[in-house]
Amino acid sequence: MAKFSYVARTRTGEKVEGVVEAVDRRAALSAVERMGHIPVSLTEAAALTPPSGAHSLRFQWRLGRPRMSGRELLVFTTELSDLLAAGLPVGNALNLLANRRSGGAADSIIAEVRDEIIRGSSLSDALARHPESFSKLYVSMVRAGEAGGALHEVLRRLIEHYERVQDLKEKIVMALVYPSIVIVVGILTLVFSMVYVIPKFRIIFDQMNIALPLPTRILIGLSGLLVRYGWGIIVAILIAGALFNRWVKTQAGRLWWDGMLLKLPVVRGIVLAGVLANLSRTLGTL
């Protein structure tokens, strides 16, 4: 016989907690239901106590709150929809997903959503507390599904929507792979020339003792600057890139960045196609 710790609701909505003994999880759920309670979460007691000397070796290198990737969001929505279609209550379904260890940000987010529901929140309100993972469209669709009693159907529509979104993102990434490789190779070639090739020409020019044109002097000066302060320039570029990335995430920065993208000849068509496709799919989902 194993011990299971449970959290449940009474018929009047009051939260109750306790421990039951049963041969397996299904029997424990049945025992809680026979008490007249509605199970919300059920955890085997042995799983609550970590082994002696065990420590978590995972470190989160992200700044701020964890965020689900597009693929993790799609997997979460699919699994939640399947569990609800099988007849499990939302709390039980989330508890099963939270106890699964995928090693990604989804683990902690699902656990927090489950805890919010245990404290009495609706699923849409619990999801709305994680705007970095669940968009306003996602939360609004779930809220409409809760109000209309068609949560499973709404989740299926969201799955179709995010499958198309994920497919479009992968196509855009694949379309930008070749230009990105060309740009990176060009930058590396330029840096190699500035650091190793031009200094050799500078020695030759110094030995010839001739007057050089202004563009040549500027190029040699830039080469010397890069050779002398190369690491400092790299650090400055990284810091500037990090600050720029934070600024682009603000409303003003995002407007400026989107405007710049729409002015680029090749990128403009890709961005417009992606926005129009996303708008069409969103309207189709609604």
On whether residue 7 sits in a domain, the answer given is: yes
On whether residue 24 sits in a domain, the answer given is: yes
pLDDT value of position 96: 83
On whether residue 95 sits in a domain, the answer given is: no
This prediction's pTM: 0.56
Contacts of 273 by beta carbon, 8 Å cutoff, 6+ apart: none
Residues in the chain with pLDDT < 50?
A: 47-63
pLDDT value of position 60: 43
pLDDT value of position 263: 84
What is the chain written as a DSSP string? -EEEEEEEE-TTS-EEEEEEEESSHHHHHHHHHHTT-EEEEEEEHHHHSPPTT---------SSS----HHHHHHHHHHHHHHHHTT--HHHHHHHHHHS--SSTHHHHHHHHHHHHHTT--HHHHHHT-TTTS-HHHHHHHHHHHHHT-HHHHHHHHHHHHHHHHHHHHHHHHHHHHHHHHHHHHHHHHHHIIIIIHHHHHHHHHHHT-PPPHHHHHHHHHHHHHHHHHHHHHHHHHHHHHHHHHHHTSHHHHHHHHHHHHHSHHHHHHHHHHHHHHHHHHHHH-
On whether residue 5 sits in a domain, the answer given is: yes
Residue 268 near residue 261, CB atoms below 8 Å: yes
Phi, psi of 4 (to 5 degrees): -125, 130
On whether residue 226 sits in a domain, the answer given is: no
On whether residue 192 sits in a domain, the answer given is: no
Domain that residue 27 falls in: 1-46
pLDDT value of position 92: 83
Q: How many domains are there within the chain?
A: 1
pLDDT value of position 145: 86
pLDDT value of position 99: 76
pLDDT value of position 62: 44
On whether residue 117 sits in a domain, the answer given is: no
